[in-house]
Structure 1
């Protein structure tokens, strides 16, 4: 994608997307960081809740440890499609909207994932009991009309993200993630490559038609990438994707480091050939039982690759030991401060400058 000074760009002769000037600036920031070999740190639901707290204005486990907010904060839209007032993690969408505004005002980046419920079975995003779900919501099929209504909720939410003066807040939208695995109803064994690509294009086309011009779209596979052919097998096209990423979590150190390095090598190659910024869209080590994980495991690998950001998952307040960022008193707290002070890592204050 070529960034230009106008408020729209044309990617080929038949497909055109309009994006706001602020959204173009966000994209330019991702590209710039990739070229500088610096990367932003991100955390899911960072300012919504943490270990031992919820809903406290201005609070963040990350900020409590290092004195700064993450440069990227992600939130989830799961169950917005049902017209609910809370998402799947029982956070009010009104609160999410407020924290999106706060993150934008501090100069940060916002990413939105969507653990959408299964439109065929009524189950959650992890319900893989029927392999025809994706096909059922594509144009001409039984659940298409219903699903288009679900997309209406998403479009309305993204369009509503505005500052008091009416400026639309740019977001990274990351649906249909970890599709190279088969634990979500849109996963590899649950739909064909053709249907998955159609799902992506239908999503982007629908949001664009409903006036969404403040979204960049993130294609985010699972890890375990062997080569570029595997990564691109279900890629819907350069004209509908802006950021390339993958999700990877640690269980054993040796295999994690090998997987991370191999997957990053593949992603770097694809990013260069398709002229897209790259990112580690989800990662982490549940409970962070290694006191030097940040500078001893994660940083030594990712510093060698031109990623725009790395994002760890949430610090759940309702599940014991389900956290991925440190909090005051955690064994990795001091090491995280070292990670924070490394010149390659960027937090909110760094990108506000």
Structure 2
């Protein structure tokens, strides 16, 4: 559902600006306030006050202004965050853009909120409570150039398989022109076909139940077999790995063994493992990687190229591979890369790193020499079909336009009309299992629109990605 601005929007102060290289500052206290209020107790603000009271869901501040040129604009936000680090949601013209990160600050300061799309005429910027509990002073806007998108098709794996290279060449060729449809789950992909008469171009699978600590407790999987079938049907294969911790599973109510990829369900410590390479912990990491290598080799032998997305959402720290911070996580990624590529000689992987657009994102990044594609996992409110344009361009800019940028997980499928209009060129989207068939999240009419849209590539529209010997 799009963010609905208050009916008081008619009372907004309209700022008419002819942008060139000039900046404009818009005071938050002059906007429309929903559940928030103007305050003056905290010193150091600009203008006649600041906006406080972001403490309940839906609390917001909206300002409307006018520009005479459509395009991308840089947004800076004046704020104070005396209660600690906070994140709050940014909307432009009712469309979600990103969650703005507000570092703790005991005085009023400025944070770069990224790039936003504005249209010729009136525009409205809204900050809506997510975490809340911060003080909003002003918005500062300046015309920006769209970041250059010039990704390379050279894979980080030495001597990649012909199929992996052909797939990467294809992804680069469509970037900025189309988006590939994706669906997590083999059965879910068939549900899409039943509804739309179209299969998604990409089907997502998981190495989760091949993790040794799950196998030894009776878990089994046929995702590799299904992935081979999908490739033989003409589709593209993506795998992530919800890596169950090698040991230290609590296996208590709410922290059962099958939740063992969560930080709060295991005592496993990768920092300790790397500091003690002679330890059982380190050896178990190698054991687990070797177990997954067996499955990846089956796919390699079947000539299946893989969009390979391990260690995802590390920056959130809710998975154990991110729990000890960026340095330990980067060591694990590089070990995984070295073990699979150099030791096991697996060459059918296209390495996908899941990032955010936060100021700390690059601290977590394993490095250009270990990553082919970057992506973001975005879950919006039910029926909010925004294309998250701000986040897309923030990530493009963050990585210098050198990497393809994908929507590696989504709950709500972005509207392809808005993606095209705002030039939010996610190279693919990947709807998480269960979100596609819940009409409270994605309406059936919306799914039919997406999978029959000329901007969206479905499986039947893919070229032959196999390599004939």
TM-score range relative to shorter protein: 0.7 to 0.9
Aligned partner of 2:389 among 261, 264, 281? 261
| Residue in 2 that maps onto 1:307 | 426
Aligned residues: 300
Aligned partner of 2:287 among 123, 140, 149? 149
Question: 3-state SS of the aligned residue for 2:462?
Answer: helix
* Correspondences of 1:30-109 after superposition (within 5 Å): 30-35=171-176, 37-45=177-185, 47=186, 49-50=187-188, 60-82=190-212, 92-93=220-221, 95-109=222-236
Aligned partner of 1:282 among 388, 400, 409? 409
Cα distance 1:139–1:17, how it changes in 2: closer, same or farther (>3 A)? farther
Higher normalized helix content (fraction of residues): 1
So what's the TM-score if we normalise by structure 2?
A: 0.58
Question: 3-state SS of the aligned residue for 2:352?
Answer: strand
Aligned partner of 2:450 among 308, 330, 339? 339
Which whole-Å CA distance do the structure 2 matches of 1:351 and 1:157 have between them?
Answer: 26
Q: CA deviation at 1:17?
A: 2.3
Which whole-Å CA distance do the structure 2 matches of 1:150 and 1:172 have between them?
Answer: 20
| Residue in 2 that maps onto 1:117 | 244
Aligned partner of 1:198 among 305, 309, 331? 331
Cα distance 1:30–1:309, how it changes in 2: closer, same or farther (>3 A)? same
Higher RCO, 1 or 2 (CA under 8 Å, sep at least 6)? 1
Cα deviation code 1:244-295 (max 9, x no counterpart): 00101023677x849x232212122245x2521110000014xxxxxxxx5x
Q: Structure 1: which 5+ runs fail to align?
A: 51-58, 286-293, 315-322
Larger radius of gyration: 2
| Residue in 2 that maps onto 1:168 | 303
Q: CA deviation at 1:167?
A: 4.7
8 A contact 1:161–1:168 mirrored in 2: yes
So what's the TM-score if we normalise by structure 1?
A: 0.76
Which whole-Å CA distance do the structure 1 matches of 2:267 and 2:353 have between them?
Answer: 22
Which whole-Å CA distance do the structure 1 matches of 2:319 and 2:213 have between them?
Answer: 21
Which whole-Å CA distance do the structure 2 matches of 1:202 and 1:311 have between them?
Answer: 27
Higher normalized strand content (fraction of residues): 2
Q: Structure 2: which 5+ runs fail to align?
A: 1-150, 251-259, 465-469
Q: CA RMSD in A?
A: 3.0
Which whole-Å CA distance do the structure 2 matches of 1:302 and 1:139 have between them?
Answer: 45
* Correspondences of 1:312-331 after superposition (within 5 Å): 312-314=431-433, 323-326=434-437
Cα distance 1:217–1:252, how it changes in 2: closer, same or farther (>3 A)? same
